[in-house]
């Protein structure tokens, strides 16, 4: 291994450590607790080292969001692949999405609530975000219904899932009806 390759590997390792530490701190104490000073202390590097990887907290949030998008896409695809039939796939997708949001609230916030400097629904949207949307579209396109554009249907279904995740987490919707809400969403929106 050349010196250049070793330095690149070490740089990538430091970047992963910064992102993992930011994510862990955000999940434990919230995003307000994530500062470059605190991150530098936790990973035992100086703040200038952090700034050599990320311009600031906004870019760190963006990196966490991209990591979360990849994880969510994997979870949604795995859930849908394990279900039999269109309705079961859509229900599995919905549950996987909501479970991801519940288990990873800080990551979910990085993805959809906080400014991570990421473009959505544009040409310059990062591949991880495009793939997360594609993971939803793959299952939802088959139930969009006649004459309904699959992408628009997926956006609408996603918006409903996001609303359920956000309102439930905020205590605006009683958690005990989560299953019933998913069934209503699947039965009323998806044409199966």
Model confidence pLDDT, tens digit, residues 67-83: 999 999 999 999 999 99
Give the closest residue to 92 by CA, choosing from 101, 102, 81, 103: 81
Task: Tell me if 100 sits within 8 A of 72, measured CB to CB.
Answer: yes
Mean pLDDT of the chain: 95
Report yes or no: 39 and 53 within 8 Å, Cβ to Cβ. Answer: no
For 145-191, write each residue's pLDDT tens digit: 999 999 999 999 999 999 999 999 999 999 899 999 999 999 988 77
DSSP count for the chain of H helices, then E strands: 9, 0
Residue 6 has pLDDT above 90, yes or no: no
Instruction: Classify burial at 89, counting beta carbons within 10 Å of its beta carbon; exposed 0-12, middle 13-18, buried 19 or more.
Output: buried
Q: Residue 46 contacts by C-beta under 8 Å, 6 or more apart in sequence? A: 40
CA-based end-to-end distance of the chain: 55
> Is 192 a residue whose pLDDT tops 70?
no
pLDDT score at 22: 97
Q: What is the mean pLDDT of residues 95-119?
A: 97
Say whether 23 sits in a helix, a strand or coil: helix
Q: What is the mean pLDDT of residues 100-128?
A: 96
For residue 106, give the nearest of 67, 52, 156 by alpha carbon: 67
The vertex-101 CA angle with 139 and 57, nearest 5°, equals 115
pTM: 0.93
């Amino acid at each position: 291994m050349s010196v250049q390759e070793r330095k690149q590997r070490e740089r990538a390792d430091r970047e992963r450590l910064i992102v993992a530490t930011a994510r862990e701190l955000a999940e434990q104490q919230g995003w307000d607790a994530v500062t470059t000073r605190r991150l530098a202390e936790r990973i035992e590097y100086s703040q200038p080292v952090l700034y050599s990887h990320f311009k600031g907290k906004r870019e760190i949030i963006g990196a966490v969001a991209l990591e979360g998008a990849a994880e969510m896409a994997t979870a949604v695809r795995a859930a849908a692949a394990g279900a039999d039939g269109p309705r079961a796939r859509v229900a599995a997708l919905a549950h996987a999405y909501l479970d991801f949001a519940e288990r990873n609230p800080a990551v979910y916030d990085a993805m959809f609530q906080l400014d991570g400097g990421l473009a959505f629904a544009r040409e310059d949207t990062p591949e991880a975000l495009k793939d997360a949307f594609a993971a939803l579209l793959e299952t939802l396109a088959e139930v969009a219904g006649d004459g309904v554009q699959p992408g628009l249907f997926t956006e609408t279904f996603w918006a409903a899932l996001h609303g359920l995740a956000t309102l439930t987490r905020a205590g605006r919707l009683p958690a005990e009806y989560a299953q019933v809400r998913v069934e209503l969403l699947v039965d009323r929106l998806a044409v199966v």
